[in-house]
Copies of this chain bind each other. A is one copy, B any other.
Amino acid sequence: MEKLDKIDLRILRILQTDGRIQNIELAEKVGLSPSPCLRRVKILEEAGVIERYVALLNAAKVGAGLTVFVRIWLKAQDADTVDHFTKEIRQLPQVVECHLMAGDCDFLLRVVATDLDAYRDFQVHSLTRIKGVQSVKTEIPMQKIKSTSELPL
């Protein structure tokens, strides 16, 4: 993929806010006719600039209203321990984000749950049962100030 020009960026900005916009309307907004507009979208998709289209749900309304950040320290940092941990984490649907960190802790997770009870259950029965986990520190947000899937362009 060569460089993104102004029209590509405009297309991406719009698709980031409305992934279901009709091509005909998108074309109008970026100042093209439908064919070349669709051609550009397809190119952006094939180049992997657009990774996927998804519906975003209201977390509270589907029983995932609580977000928790979890810091995790492993007993060791060798490849086996880390690989095993990451493999297990990827299987857990409550873990929506997981990063291997430089510095203080080993991993930083974002976990969703219905409420604190459900989270405690998850921590006791799933998270801390993974082999190699030494300690876990939970951090709880009181208010979500901002959360977006839109990347700056």
Interfacial residues, chain A to chain B (CB-CB below 8 A): 1, 4, 12, 15-20, 47-59, 61-62, 64, 67, 69, 86, 89-90, 93-104, 107-108, 112, 139-153
Task: Decide yes or no: A47 and B18 within 8 Å by CB, A101-B141, A108-B139 being known contacts.
Answer: no
Give the number of copies in the complex: 2
In the bound complex, CA of A82 to CA of B29 (Å): 37
**How far, in Å, is A92 (CB) from chain B's closest CB?**
9
| A147: B residues at CB distance < 8 A | 96-98
Could you write out 13 A-B pairs with CB less than 8 Å apart? A16-B55, A18-B52, A47-B61, A48-B58, A49-B62, A51-B56, A53-B54, A64-B152, A90-B146, A96-B148, A96-B149, A97-B146, A98-B145
